[in-house]
């Protein structure tokens, strides 16, 4: 009986958050190390499916860096990065598109559908969902076929998300000539959330959140302002792959997203723990 009462208490704790988010859009960036464990991946898919069933409109943006690197290595194509962004040659771009849209995207769609969701896989080339232009060199380093987002086609996402569907987006953009471009998935998630003025943007990563001391796992910051994030970047505390995440948070907040979260996606049910419990987990970035 105590166990049943505890379960009931959990549901009642979640009730006000469900009421607050009902009918609202939540963008979830899923990728990297959050994808490695099949057991954890299944709990994340369960979280996303449950969101849809309780009236929330989840939109998933996924990455796939580890699988891309693995495939490039198998094909003897070198992987190089600069400031957290993959340098993408024409040869590498074909592999990136194949892995992201042909494998990972359809795997996620299949998992969601097997749980009772109605997921639809998309990439930026579908209905010109993500229009890009070639990114300019950074510090003189040419990133190759890496895109800078010019426009998000909100209409197609709104039609799907407000109906019974769960859009699942691979971070491939389309240039003015129809050429495919690689885009950092964190950047895509931030831009999609900003364009839709989503209620929440959630980044699932492999750390518990933003740390005041990068070497101290106990120094997680529960809530941080945009100004304080910039300060940590200037001090070199936020570096590498975390930079696109926090910049995605900042961009989306500046364009109307109310709350953004950086959450450890390697623990079971990270989405439900963050948005449907009083304490939450991870770091929330606010204006």
> Which CATH number do you get for residue 34?
3.40.1160.10
Does residue 109 lie in a domain region?
A: yes
Q: What is the pLDDT of residue 245?
A: 83
Domain around 276: 20-286
Does residue 13 lie in a domain region?
A: no
CA angle 95, 100, 102 (to 5 degrees): 85
Does residue 76 lie in a domain region?
A: yes
CA angle 71, 130, 226 (to 5 degrees): 95
Q: With a cut of 70, list the residues of the chain below it in pLDDT.
A: 32-34
Q: What is the pLDDT of residue 225?
A: 92
Does residue 137 lie in a domain region?
A: yes
How many CB atoms sit inside 10 A of residue 226's CB?
17
Q: What is the pLDDT of residue 281?
A: 83
Q: What's the pTM value of the predicted model, to 2 decimals?
A: 0.90
Q: pLDDT digits over 171-201, tens only?
A: 999 999 899 999 989 889 999 999 999 999 9
CA dihedral sign of residues 59, 229, 266, 173: positive
Q: Provide the number of structural domains found in the chain.
A: 1
Does residue 5 lie in a domain region?
A: no
Does residue 2 lie in a domain region?
A: no
Does residue 146 lie in a domain region?
A: yes
Does residue 12 lie in a domain region?
A: no
Q: pLDDT digits over 63-114, tens only?
A: 988 899 999 999 999 888 887 788 999 999 999 999 999 999 999 999 999 9
Q: From CA 279, how far away is CA 271, in angstroms rounded?
A: 13
């Amino acid at each position: 009986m105590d166990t049943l009462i505890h379960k009931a208490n959990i549901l009642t704790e979640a009730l006000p958050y469900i009421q607050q988010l009902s009918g609202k859009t939540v963008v979830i960036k899923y990728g990297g190390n959050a994808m490695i464990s099949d057991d954890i991946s299944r709990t994340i898919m369960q979280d996303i499916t449950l969101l849809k069933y309780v009236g929330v409109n989840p939109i998933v943006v996924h990455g796939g860096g580890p699988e891309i690197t693995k495939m490039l290595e198998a094909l003897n194509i070198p992987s190089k990065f600069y400031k957290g962004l993959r340098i993408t040659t024409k040869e590498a771009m074909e592999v990136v598109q194949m892995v992201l849209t042909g494998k990972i995207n359809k795997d996620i769609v299949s998992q969601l559908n097997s749980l009772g969701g109605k997921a639809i896989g998309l990439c930026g080339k579908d209905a010109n969902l993500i229009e890009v232009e070639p990114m300019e060199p950074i510090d003189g380093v040419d990133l190759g076929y890496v895109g800078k987002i010019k426009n998000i086609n909100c209409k197609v996402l709104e039609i799907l998300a407000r109906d019974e569907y769960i859009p699942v987006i691979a971070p491939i953009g389309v240039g003015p000539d129809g050429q495919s471009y690689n885009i950092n998935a964190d950047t895509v998630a931030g831009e999609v959330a900003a364009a839709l003025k989503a209620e929440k943007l959630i980044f699932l990563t492999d750390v518990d959140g933003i740390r005041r001391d990068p070497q101290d796992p106990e120094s997680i910051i529960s809530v941080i302002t945009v100004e304080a994030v910039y300060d940590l970047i200037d001090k070199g505390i936020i570096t590498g792959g975390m930079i696109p995440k926090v910049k995605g948070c900042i961009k989306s907040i500046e364009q109307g997203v109310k709350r953004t979260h950086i959450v450890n996606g390697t623990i079971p049910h990270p989405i439900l723990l963050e948005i449907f419990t009083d304490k939450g987990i991870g770091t929330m970035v606010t204006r």
